[in-house]
Amino acid sequence: MRIENKLMLVLFFLLAACGSGQPDAAQVHAYLIAHPEFVLDNPDVGEAVKSAAEQRRRQAEETGRRKLLEVNSPLIRSVLTPTFGNPDATVSIIQFSDYQCVPCKKTYVELDSVKNSRNDIEVLYLELPVYGSVSDLAARAAIAANINDVFPEYHHLLMLNDAGLDVARIREAAIAAGMTDWQVENSFNDPEIKNYLAQIRVFAEELDVNGTPTFLIGNQLVRGAVTAPQFNVFIDRNLSAKTR
Amino acid sequence: MRLGKLLIIFFISQLAVISPLYAGAPVNVTDYPSLNEKQIGHVRHMINLANKLDGDWSMMGNTGGGMNFDAYQFQIAFAAYALAVTQDHFVPAHRDLYQDTSARLIKKMMYKDVWDYWAQMSKGEWRIDENGEDHYYTEDDWFGWIDPNIKQNIMYSGHLLQMLGLHESLFDDDRYDKPGSLTFNFAPVAYGESPLEIVYDHSRLATVIYDQFVEDDFRGIECERNKVYTECNQHPILGLIHYDYKHGTSYAPLVQEEFKKTIINRGYVHPDTHTTMLSLDVHLDEVIHKTYAWSDGWNGLVHHAWDKEYVEALYDEQVKLYMPQMLEGEPGENMGWTASFDFGWLAVLAAEVGDAATVNLMLEYADQYFNPTWLDGGYYYPHTSDYKENFRRDDEGKIGNISPVTGNYLVGFARLMPKDGMWSLYNRTRDNEFFAQPYVDGVDYSQATVSQAYYDSGEDALIVTIVPSESASNAVTFAVNQLEFGTRYQIFRDGESIGIAGSNESATAWNSEQQLIISNELDSPHSYVIVPASSLVKDSR
């Protein structure tokens, strides 16, 4: 029996025993105020209250996230944001990542296999450079790659790059992906791209993202590396929640 | 073409005749303060840490595990002080990077990991009752008091107030005056309590702290329950000085006068040893004297900003007491037990009072024994894994344990600090005239550092040097603001004239916001001097 149900049952019998029949909320409240020791004497009741509080906290977080997603929709759906898949998909995966982040690279392969195996998801890649200056420049070039329709190629090359990253390697990857030298150089100093990335950073902090990779799968925040089976569980959970 | 335009073209062409370009710059950039390579490294390391996402405390150690000076609030606050001194001394005409970083640091101070932990710690109180038993927390400590500023936590609130004052006075930015701009969010999870908002702004914080000084009859506000430390109380004094300056109040003078009397009358600085007390035990009303270099370094550094002669009169005795046993061998009885803290804070004080010999000795020592490291353009001394065992020295008697606050901030602060660096922040405050002067912004931090930016009003010259980072592209642009639009400015790059501002040959252009945009190649450091061409004509006559 769930602990919350147990709490209600206990209270019900307790109050019924007092001859008051089906207790209403006011009666429960009055009883507990008059007999607070009841909670102290029944640790499982305290646990139930904690659990209810935790559930309420989670709900508040989810509501907050939903609002943030709504407010930031123009940013998330900006033409600068690289996307994959069906924009009408039931489940959206927002990925915050950095090209120097090892778990991001590990997750890249996992997410890739998920992308290839199902058509009911959409992935939005939000660049969140947290590893310093080189990551900043790599993120700027990524947005330029998206503008120039070569983001998947560029992303693939940098995510599979297991050597250190520097400006020369960023250039090399961008050019191999199909960008010109001028486009790469321009991306490093493009004020529109810099401003867009700054806004992504603010959005991430509002979401309480404190590292990479972080995923927002539907409305669920998932921190750290994720395997393909885990992705599928999160996606299916979101799908079933939406179906319900 | 309209007649007016023709006249303007004629006028400009005549100006070109009477004001020829000068080959050599009218001022020498080496006459102005400039960050050297290691100083740039320290600045970048501090900014890199400030740029980390909220909640990412990597490289900053663990704030838990009881009272320690590596708590995030101290690291964040000393980053703010070091960067403020740097901005004031080396790059007063370059503000956006430092202003953004200052705001980031204040935001981090408002992060619950920072303020809540220390609000809780500050409620801690070791007391021994009449039966000889230890007592620490009470129920009231945990459930009746969340607000980190309202009482007995000046070791948090004092730093926040000083940071706000620096932000407002250095950048003329009053964002924290807005009601609710400093809102602490506390979301208790237990027993379904509602989230709590503790709403502050700059004014409320200043008032709350001033009231505590008055309420405590100027004996000093408790840093944690039952303990008054002198150094903790210096920070809010500096905060009040800036608050008064920007708000027209006069909180600071009374606090300075009365707290100074307390320091003397209660012997907070021992009349014989000239060292700062450890603390005042409030319940026992007893001053506990110790001779700790960290305590003298920390207190002296901040006290010097408002009481220069007094601190300098104490300094010689203090440095004799602590050096050279600070650096090697077995520390004597009159030496602190926290080697890394002692080192860091004494080094910063030595820099503030201008003891170059001691500072250089200590910086060389740090570079030799503290595992100096470059990371993403930042220069620092990584904290050792067992830094909480701070007393340890190696087999040769050298300091072997580096704490985060020392390695991330204090040694760097000592290297960045000019003589009277802190003092200048509180005695040469910026006025409207300063904020109307030309300045640069928009230099991309990921690719370059501004190592000097100074407007010399006597010469009517703006001096700027840009140093490329490791991750530089080919070029960056930056903007020069508040030049007189329409005036002909001559631009010198690395001592040579590159032409008139806005002309093709000078690689500069005016934009629609009347900023002068300069394209700077990132092949090597480049220095610029920008002066009105007319001033050169006048000088040449």
Write out the DSSP string of B356-377.
HHHHHHHHHHHHHHS--EEETT
Interface touch B447/A133, C-beta < 8 Å = yes
Chain B residue numbers touching A141 (CB-CB < 8 A): none
pLDDT band for position B185 (cuts 50, 70, 90):
confident
Interface touch A210/B55, C-beta < 8 Å = yes
Arithmetic mean of pLDDT, B487-491: 95
- For residue A66, give how far its alpha carbon lies from the nearest alpha carbon of chain B (Å): 19
3 state SS of A238: helix
Return the domain boundaries, chain A.
3-63, 73-242
Q: Report yes or no: B408 and B78 within 8 Å, Cβ to Cβ.
A: no
C-alpha A134: how far from chain center: 24
- Of residues B446, B466, B478, B468, the one with CA closest to residue A170: B446
Distance CA B347, CA B78 (A): 14
Predicted pLDDT at B541: 36
Angle ∠(A139,A145,A147) on CA atoms, nearest 5:
110
Q: Name the token pair of B250.
A: 């006069």
Other beta carbons within 10 angstroms of residue B55's beta carbon come to 14
Q: Which residue has the tokens 């009218």?
A: B26
Task: Tell me if the bond preceding A213 is cis, omega within 30° of 0.
Answer: yes
- Of residues B315, B279, B280, B270, the one with CA closest to residue B297: B315
Q: Report yes or no: B447 and B469 within 8 Å, Cβ to Cβ.
A: yes
The amino acid present at B129, given as its one-letter code, is D
Chain B residue numbers touching A49 (CB-CB < 8 A): 191-192
Chain B residue numbers touching A50 (CB-CB < 8 A): 189-191
Other beta carbons within 10 angstroms of residue B455's beta carbon come to 20
Q: Which residue has the higher pLDDT, B18 or B387?
A: B387
Q: Name the token pair of A28.
A: 């429960």
Could you tell me where the beta strands, DSSP code E, fall in A57-213? 83-85, 91-97, 121-127
β-sheet bridge partners, residue B455: B462
Predicted pLDDT at B6: 46
Distance CA A139, CA A147 (A): 13
Return the CA Rg of chain A.
Answer: 24
Interface touch A53/B190, C-beta < 8 Å = yes
Angle ∠(B117,B119,B121) on CA atoms, nearest 5:
70
Nearest to A54 among B56, B189, B476 (CB): B189
Q: Name the token pair of B168.
A: 């407002």
End-to-end CA distance of chain A: 23
| Beta strands B448-456 and B461-468, pairing class | antiparallel
Interface touch A194/B444, C-beta < 8 Å = yes
- Identify the weakest region by mean pLDDT among B29-33, B133-137, B234-238: B133-137
Mutation site for B-interface testing, chosen from A133, A135, A143, A189 by largest number of B Cβ within 10 Å:
A133
Distance CA A203, CA A205 (A): 5
End-to-end CA distance of chain B: 36
Predicted pLDDT at B334: 65
Length of chain B: 541
β-sheet bridge partners, residue B379: B374
Q: Report yes or no: B76 and B109 within 8 Å, Cβ to Cβ.
A: yes
Q: Report yes or no: B449 and B469 within 8 Å, Cβ to Cβ.
A: yes
Average model confidence (pLDDT) for chain B? 89
Predicted pLDDT at B121: 65
Q: Report yes or no: B533 and B489 within 8 Å, Cβ to Cβ.
A: yes
Q: Name the token pair of B287.
A: 């001053």
Q: Which residue has the tokens 């405590």?
A: B216
Arithmetic mean of pLDDT, B481-491: 94
Chain B residue numbers touching A188 (CB-CB < 8 A): 444, 447, 473
| Span B258-267, pLDDT tens digits | 999 999 999 9
Distance CA A199, CA A204 (A): 9
Interface touch A133/B56, C-beta < 8 Å = no
Interface touch B192/A56, C-beta < 8 Å = yes
- Identify the weakest region by mean pLDDT among A27-31, B19-23, B328-332: B19-23
Interface touch B54/A205, C-beta < 8 Å = yes
Domain A73-242 has CATH 3.20.20.210: no
Distance CA A213, CA A102 (A): 9
Interface touch A210/B53, C-beta < 8 Å = yes
Asked if the model's pLDDT at residue B274 lies above 80, the reply is yes
- How far are the Cα atoms of A14, A129, B535 from residue A75, in angstroms, in the given order? 54, 17, 48
Chain A residue numbers touching B46 (CB-CB < 8 A): none
- Of residues B233, B222, B178, the one with CA closest to residue B200: B178
Interface touch A209/B53, C-beta < 8 Å = yes
| Span B139-160, pLDDT tens digits | 445 445 788 898 889 999 999 9
Predicted pLDDT at A17: 53
Asked if the model's pLDDT at residue B403 lies above 80, the reply is yes
Residues of A with CB under 8 A from a CB of B: 46, 49-50, 52-54, 56-57, 60, 128, 130-134, 136-137, 166-167, 185, 188-189, 194, 204-205, 208-211
Q: Is the pTM of this model over 0.90?
A: no
| Span B68-92, pLDDT tens digits | 788 999 999 999 999 999 999 999 9
Other beta carbons within 10 angstroms of residue A136's beta carbon come to 24
Asked if the model's pLDDT at residue B17 lies above 70, the reply is no
What one-character DSSP code corresponds to residue B407? I
Asked if the model's pLDDT at residue B368 lies above 50, the reply is yes
Q: Which residue has the tokens 């977080």?
A: A61
Distance CA A170, CA A60 (A): 41
Other beta carbons within 10 angstroms of residue B4's beta carbon come to 8
3 state SS of A64: helix
Predicted pLDDT at B479: 97
Closest B-chain CA to A39: B191
Angle ∠(A91,A95,A100) on CA atoms, nearest 5:
160
What is the full per-residue pLDDT of chain A (244 aa) written as tens digits? 444 455 555 555 555 555 556 788 888 888 888 988 888 888 888 888 878 877 887 888 888 899 999 999 999 999 999 999 888 898 999 999 999 999 999 999 999 999 999 989 999 999 999 999 999 999 999 999 999 999 999 999 999 998 889 999 999 999 999 999 999 999 999 999 999 999 999 999 999 999 999 999 998 999 999 999 999 999 999 888 877 6
Q: Report yes or no: B483 and B477 within 8 Å, Cβ to Cβ.
A: no
Mutation site for A-interface testing, chosen from B444, B449, B513 by largest number of A Cβ within 10 Å:
B444
pLDDT band for position B380 (cuts 50, 70, 90):
very high
Predicted pLDDT at A14: 57
Arithmetic mean of pLDDT, B407-436: 97
Chain A residue numbers touching B447 (CB-CB < 8 A): 133, 137, 188
Distance CA B290, CA B278 (A): 5
Interface touch A210/B376, C-beta < 8 Å = no
Predicted pLDDT at A97: 97
Q: Which residue has the higher pLDDT, B335 or A115?
A: A115
Q: What are phi and psi of B481, to 5 degrees?
A: -110, 155
Mutation site for A-interface testing, chosen from B44, B53, B375, B447 by largest number of A Cβ within 10 Å:
B53
| Span B439-473, pLDDT tens digits | 999 999 999 999 999 999 999 999 999 999 988 88
Q: Which residue has the tokens 């300091």?
A: B399
Asked if the model's pLDDT at residue B137 lies above 70, the reply is no
Nearest to A188 among B52, B377, B447 (CB): B447
Q: Name the token pair of B381.
A: 């001394």
Angle ∠(B302,B304,B309) on CA atoms, nearest 5:
165
Predicted pLDDT at B151: 86
Predicted pLDDT at A7: 54
Length of chain A: 244
Predicted pLDDT at A241: 82
